Every structure is written in structure tokens, then in C-alpha cells.
Amino acid sequence: MTADRVPLDGAALRADVLGPVWRRLDVIAETRSTNADLLARAEHDDIDGAVLIAEHQTAGRGRRGRSWSGVPHAQVIMSVGVDVSGVPTRAWGWLPLMTGVAVIDTVAALGVEAALKWPNDVLAGDDKLAGILAEVAPGQQAVVIGVGLNVSLAADEVPLDGVASLTKLGVTRPDRHRIVADLLRALGDRLAAWRANAGADSALHRDYRAQSATFGQRVRAILPGDQEIVGTAVDVDDEGRLLVDTAGKAVTISAGDIVHLRPQA
């Protein structure tokens, strides 16, 4: 085991992060999907403030049902449960966006420049550094937010091009304990403001806009039902939906895959 792949210490993390926002934290060796585990727990237990971290994930789930596997101790693979009962449903779409901002806050402290691709990806240049997936829990007003952040993945451990990691971006021996703790603190602060405001506050709007890699880009939006819209991404609205200008007509996109198109020659 390399120096940057030390197992996480659950007891030490609990001592660092448990409090008003995060009330339970578990670190497990392996699972198919931390999101699926928390969603299953929600069927019989209150998951608000629950944090589940896996050292290895074998069947993680991305958007549109895509699956992926992790590398043991080389990533932060974490899902959290968030009570959304006090916030209107229309504002829930901000949860993956604010999680992306919290990831940016966390990696910026390590000297890493990153940006946000609406709605779920954190990019370093054109490469994916982190992915986010938010899912509504059954049986209660709660949302599970999953984060997969690449920490020490090497090029020969990744089957696809276009994947970044903190070590590939120049972070020497990244401390996953510190990364987890900082990310949970950053996300906890954003959640507190979101709840107090019953939606995105002005600071979240400002920070998301400043960190967006999508705004100003010509994009192809692949919508449910395999419909496509091509235009220029200009902003997000008060519900976190993407606004795309298509030849002077504004289109609002609440869900879909976004492809950044190369500038036309």
C-alpha cells in the first residue's frame, strides 16, 4: 500500500466532523454502491445527517443508469443523507450543484483549479475529477447525494481517457482524511445556508456562476427520451435548471446530459 492510500480511520473522522449537520458516519471496506446502501437504509431509518464512505465501490451508479467501479483507497467514495422537508421541492435541484461547489472549495485548498459542468461533474481542464449523483430517498423527505472524487488514481488504473485525479494534478501525497473532513464541512455550511434560505442563497448563486465551466459554452443537451437541444448555456435559474439560448430562444433544462461542443471553426 502506498503512502497516499492509507485506509480511512472512521473513529478519527467521527471525532472531526460529527455535530449538528452530520450525525452519523460509517466507513466500510467495500460495497456495490454507497448511494444504494443509504437509499435502502432510508426505507426503515432516518438518514438525515448520515455519511457513508466506502474504501472500494464495485457497482457505483452514475446518470442514466451508468455503472462504474472504484480503485481501493484511491478515491473518496461517499454518500450523505439530507433532510429536505423544510425546503420547497423546486429548490432540491440545487443539491448536486452546491455539492460541486463544496468539492471546488475543498480541492482549491490543495492548490487545484477545477470547474463545474452542469449538473453533476467537477472538471480539471477537460478531464473529470469528481462526479455527483443526487437521488430522492423512498418513504421520507430526504435526498441522498453521492460523491466520487479521484484522489490518487494512476493512468494505468483508469480504463477511459479524460479522467483526472489530485495526484495527476500535482498534489503530493494527498491526505484523504483531511479531504473528507474539509468536504463535509464545506457541504455542511452550504446546506445550512440553503435550508435557512429555503433554497439557494445569493452566495451560492454567485459562487456557482463563478466556477461554472458550462456557462458561455455551446452545448448539446441530451434530454430524457433521447431528444437533443443545441445552443449556448447562459445561466441557471432559481431552481438550479440550466438555461440554454437556442438562436435567441431561451430553453430551460431540468435534467439531461450536457456535452460541451468545440468552438466552430
What's the confidence (pLDDT) of residue 4?
Answer: 66
**Domains, the chain, with CATH or none:** 3-210 (3.30.930.10), 214-260 (2.30.30.100)
What's the confidence (pLDDT) of residue 7?
Answer: 96
Q: pTM to 2 decimals? A: 0.93
> Cβ distance 42 to 144 under 8 Å?
yes
What's the confidence (pLDDT) of residue 248?
Answer: 87
What's the confidence (pLDDT) of residue 208?
Answer: 98
Burial of 160 (0-12, 13-18, 19+ CB in 10 A): exposed
What's the confidence (pLDDT) of residue 70?
Answer: 66
What's the confidence (pLDDT) of residue 1?
Answer: 53
What's the confidence (pLDDT) of residue 63?
Answer: 45
Residues 6 or more apart in contact with residue 2 via CB below 8 angstroms:
152
Q: pLDDT tens for the chain, 265 residues: list them.
A: 555 689 999 999 999 999 999 999 999 999 999 999 999 999 999 999 999 999 999 875 544 445 555 688 999 999 999 999 999 999 999 999 999 999 999 999 999 999 999 999 999 999 999 999 999 998 889 999 999 999 998 877 766 678 999 999 999 999 999 999 999 999 999 999 999 999 999 999 999 999 999 999 999 999 988 899 999 999 999 999 999 999 989 999 999 899 999 876 4
Please give the Cα distance from 233 to 242 (Å, whole number): 7
- Order across the sheet with 257-260: list the strands: 249-253, 242-246, 227-236, 218-223, 257-260
What's the confidence (pLDDT) of residue 166?
Answer: 97
What's the confidence (pLDDT) of residue 156?
Answer: 75
* Contacts by residues 10-16 (CB-CB < 8 Å, ≥ 24 positions apart): 10/53, 12/177, 13/53, 13/177, 13/180, 13/181, 16/177, 16/181
- Cα angle 70, 166, 168; round to 5: 95
What's the confidence (pLDDT) of residue 157?
Answer: 77
